[in-house]
Amino acid sequence: MKFKYLFIAFLILQFSHCLSFVGWNITLGSRLEKVVLFVLAVYCITNIKKVPQTGMRPFVAAYMIIPFISILGSYSIHGQSVSEGFLVTMFSLSYLFFYLLNILKVDYNVVLKMCMILGVFWVAMEVIQQFTYPSYWFSTQKESLDKVIEIRNGIYRFNMEGREFGLLLLFYSFQKYMEKPQKKFLIGIVLGLVGVYLLATRQIMAASVICLLYGMFAKKKIKITSFIVMLIMAFLIYYNMDTLFGGFIEMTEGVDEDYIRFIAYEYFGLTYNEGNIWSMLFGNGIAGASAYGTEMKKLMDVGLFQADIGIVGMYSWYGIFYVIAVLAFFSFIFAKRNSIDLYLKMYVLYMFVTTPMLHHFGYSTHHIMALCMILYLIDCSMEKNKNTLNCNLINV
């Protein structure tokens, strides 16, 4: 029993590179990751019959398989070898983590507690490192002779892996506090808000406000008219951030990030494919150590990043079928909203609002691992609430 939880903890640390520990050896870590994914694939395939037909399973299968189809695009369109395409796409097998949770029948409360602990750790390290810099231990931003940690309004942006858990901490604590005000839930809300603030990212701040407003509305703490007015105010504040909080929003070297992002939307969404049917349907694939990779590097050097344009970046990599699978997920959650716990609906709303700008699907082993835990919680939540509903109907 304890071994399975230790194994899950190991996978979380492996897929998140020990929560972006700066001492992580990329070369050895990458090799170990491929071995882990291979072992995980063998184990899940041999135990596939133990995985129940849940609501999230078809989506997980789509997000894992479609990227491998895009390898043919990187080969036929960009001349990248199939072997190189497979190696750089192999991280999509991280979705097997979802199957593993089902095979091991991990308890809902155990997964939830893991998410809460990781959320608290993420916030704590983001806060502590603000005071210990130039000494820091967790960051996706590596310093070098020509690059330092970005500072916004006096905040060091370490961008440590784990914000998904910090947001879950915020939304779960918020739901519980509205149901039964307790000090521990208030502390969770404060920690979550501090974490969001230290991200210094407008999109996430605005999306978090929208989700909290939705949570209040869902719990009938505010009326629909107040909800709409506050939502409009949130959008107005977001689109006037430069005017209202000019000191907080610092554009590097005078470059307008939003303008660059719009160029990237147009380029990767329309221009880059040049009407190629295959790339539109199945994508161009992930670029590796090839001429295709060199081409992508040149585009990134001028500020055009597929990772910065959310669902359009997904379309460029994996094609329209992947985008359809993402939209189908949001549609499914909306249809099943009455059987899903509020904090999870708040998180899915956050995903939906930020999907035009952020990647939540198929981007890295960490993001996939975190998403698998959330999808597993959603499945458990639907099953738990379905049983509760059935009991209520029997009692009636």
Give per-residue pLDDT as tens, 251-290: 434 345 667 888 888 889 888 888 789 889 999 999 999 9
Measure Cα distances from 366 to 13, 160, 384 in Å: 9, 11, 27
**C-alpha–C-alpha distance, residues 247 and 134, integer Å:** 23
Q: What is the pLDDT of residue 65?
A: 95
pLDDT at 146: 66
Closest of 65, 69, 86 to residue 278, by C-alpha = 69
Per-residue pLDDT, 95 = 97
Q: Residue 248: what pLDDT?
A: 45
pLDDT the model gives residue 387: 65
CA-CA-CA-CA torsion sign (114, 383, 163, 322): positive
Regions in the chain scoring below 70 on pLDDT: 1, 144-146, 222-258, 387-396
Kind plus residue range of the DSSP H or E element containing 156? strand 155-156
Beta bridge partners of 151: 156
**And the tokens for 394?**
């029997």
Q: Could you tell me the sign of the dihedral formed by the alpha carbons of 33, 36, 41, 47, in that order?
A: negative
What is the Cα–Cα distance from 192 to 164, expressed in whole angstroms? 10
CB 70 within 8 A of CB 89: yes
What pLDDT does 154 receive? Answer: 80
User: Residues near 200 by Cβ (< 8 Å), separated by ≥ 6?
Assistant: 152, 153, 155, 157, 248
Indicate left, alpha or beta for 287 from its phi (over 0: left) and psi (-120 to 50: alpha): beta
91: region left, alpha or beta (phi > 0 left; psi from -120 to 50 alpha) = alpha
Local structure of residue 151 (DSSP, 8 states): E
Query: Among all chains, which residue has been given the structure tokens 């000191």?
Result: 247
pLDDT of residue 255: 45
Q: What is the pLDDT of residue 273?
A: 84
Look at residues 190, 123, 201, 124 and name the one whose alpha carbon lies nearest to residue 157: 201
pLDDT score at 127: 95
pTM of the model: 0.89
If 0-12 CB within 10 Å is exposed, 13-18 middle and 19+ buried, where does residue 378 land? buried
Task: Give the pLDDT score at 229.
Answer: 57
Residue 81 and residue 41: Cα distance in Å, rounded? 23
